[in-house]
C-alpha cells in the first residue's frame, strides 16, 4: 500500500496538463460546457457581495487561481482593478489573450504560497477562485499567511472551497479519508476539509468570519465564506 502522507502535490504539472487539454479541445475553461452557467453564478455572487459589504469603489482585487480568466473578467466588470494569479503558464496566456481589452485586469504566473511579488497591505480583497482546495498539507498555512500579509487591514478574504465528503464516484475511488485528499497521477490534488476545519483555518490566520454558508450539490458540497482581515 502506498504511503499517501509522503506523496507531494504536483501543482504545476497537473494544472498545466489540464489547461493544455482545454486548449486542445477548444473548451472555454476548467468547467468545460458548464462555463456559461458558472459565469452567471459568479456574476450574481459578486453583485450580492458588493451590495451587502460595500467594498471600496475601484478597489484592488487579487484572485487566487484565476485559470482562464472567466471569473476575473466578471470582477473587473464590477469596476475593480483585478490581478489574477495562476500556476499554469498556459492558463495565464489564455486569460491574458481573452481579456486584453480590459485595462483593469492583469495576470501573472505565480504560486499562492509565495506572493512576494506584492508588497504588504496591497489589496482590498483577496478572492479564492476555487484554488485553495488544491493546496495540500503545510502549504495551506503558507498560503493563508501570504493572503493575510497582502491584504489591507479590514480587507476582505473570500473563500470558495469544496468541503466535507466527496460525492463523485471517480473521486471517491482515489480518496484518502485520513488525509482528506483525492489523488491523481500519484499525487494529492484536492483537499476536502470539513466545514468547521476550514472556518477554523481562516480564523486562526487572523481573520474575522463575516458570513458562511455551505452549498449542497449532487457532485459535491462547497463552502462560501467571507472574512475580514483583523488589523
pLDDT at residue 204 above 80? yes
| pLDDT above 70 as % of the chain | 96
- What is the structure's pLDDT at 6? 59
For residue 135, report the phi and psi dihedrals to the nearest 5 degrees. -95, 130
pLDDT (0 to 100) of residue 181: 97
Report the distance separating Cα 229 and Cα 99, nearest Å.
Answer: 30
184/54 Cα distance (integer angstroms)? 40
- For 75-82, which contacts have Cβ atoms below 8 Å and span 24 or more sequence positions? 75/46, 75/127, 76/102, 76/104, 76/105, 77/102, 78/46, 78/47, 78/50, 79/104, 80/55, 80/104, 80/125, 81/105, 82/106
Rg (CA), the chain: 17
Confidence of residue 1 (pLDDT cuts 50, 70, 90): very low
User: Domains of the chain (ranges plus CATH)?
Assistant: 4-229 (3.40.50.150)
Q: Please measure the distance between the N-terminal and C-terminal CA atoms of the chain and give it in whole angstroms.
A: 47
pLDDT 10s digits, 180-202:
999 998 899 999 999 999 999 99
Entry pTM: 0.94
Per-residue confidence band for 4, with pLDDT thresholds at 50, 70 and 90: low
Taking all residues of the chain, what is their mean pLDDT, rounded to a whole number? Answer: 94
What backbone torsions phi and psi does residue 111 show, to the nearest 5 degrees? -95, 135
- pLDDT tens track for 85-132: 999 999 999 999 999 999 999 999 999 999 999 999 999 999 998 999
Phi-psi region of 52 (alpha: psi -120 to 50; beta: other; left: phi over 0): alpha
pLDDT at 23: 92
The pLDDT value given to residue 114: 98
Q: Pick from 138, 158, 167: which is nearest to 207 by CA? A: 158
Instruction: State the pLDDT at residue 8.
Output: 87
Backbone angles phi, psi at 194, to 5 degrees: -65, 150
Q: How distant, in Å, are the alpha carbons of 43, 49, 152, 203, 208 from that of 231?
A: 29, 21, 8, 13, 10
Q: If you average pLDDT over residues 143-160, what whole number do you get?
A: 99
- For the stretch 15-48, pLDDT in tens is 999 999 999 998 888 876 666 788 899 999 999 9
Nearest to 69 by CA among 60, 81, 82: 82
Query: Alpha helix (H) ranges present in the chain?
Result: 11-25, 35-53, 70-77, 89-98, 139-150, 169-173, 195-204
Amino acid at each position: 500500500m502506498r504511503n499517501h502522507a509522503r506523496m507531494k502535490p504536483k501543482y504545476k504539472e497537473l494544472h498545466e496538463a489540464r489547461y493544455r487539454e482545454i486548449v486542445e479541445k477548444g473548451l472555454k475553461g476548467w468547467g468545460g460546457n458548464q462555463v456559461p452557467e458558472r459565469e452567471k453564478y459568479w456574476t450574481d455572487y459578486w453583485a450580492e457581495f458588493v451590495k451587502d459589504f460595500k467594498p471600496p469603489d475601484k478597489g484592488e482585487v487579487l484572485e487566487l487561481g484565476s485559470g482562464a480568466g472567466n471569473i476575473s473578467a466578471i470582477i473587473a466588470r464590477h469596476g475593480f482593478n483585478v490581478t489574477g494569479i495562476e500556476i499554469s503558464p498556459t492558463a495565464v496566456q489564455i486569460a491574458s489573450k481573452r481579456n486584453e481589452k480590459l485595462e483593469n485586469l492583469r495576470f501573472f504566473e505565480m504560486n499562492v504560497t509565495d506572493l512576494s511579488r506584492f508588497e504588504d497591505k496591497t489589496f482590498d480583497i483577496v478572492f479564492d477562485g476555487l484554488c485553495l482546495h488544491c493546496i495540500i498539507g503545510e502549504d495551506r498555512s503558507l498560503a493563508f499567511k501570504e493572503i493575510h500579509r497582502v491584504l489591507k487591514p479590514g480587507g476582505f478574504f473570500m473563500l470558495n472551497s469544496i468541503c466535507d465528503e466527496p460525492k463523485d464516484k471517480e473521486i471517491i475511488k482515489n480518496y484518502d479519508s485520513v488525509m482528506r485528499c483525492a489523488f491523481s497521477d500519484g499525487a494529492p490534488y484536492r483537499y476536502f476539509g470539513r466545514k468547521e476545519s476550514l472556518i477554523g483555518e481562516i480564523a486562526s490566520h487572523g481573520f474575522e468570519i463575516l458570513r458562511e454558508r455551505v452549498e449542497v450539490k449532487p457532485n459535491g458540497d462547497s463552502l462560501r465564506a467571507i472574512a475580514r482581515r483583523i488589523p
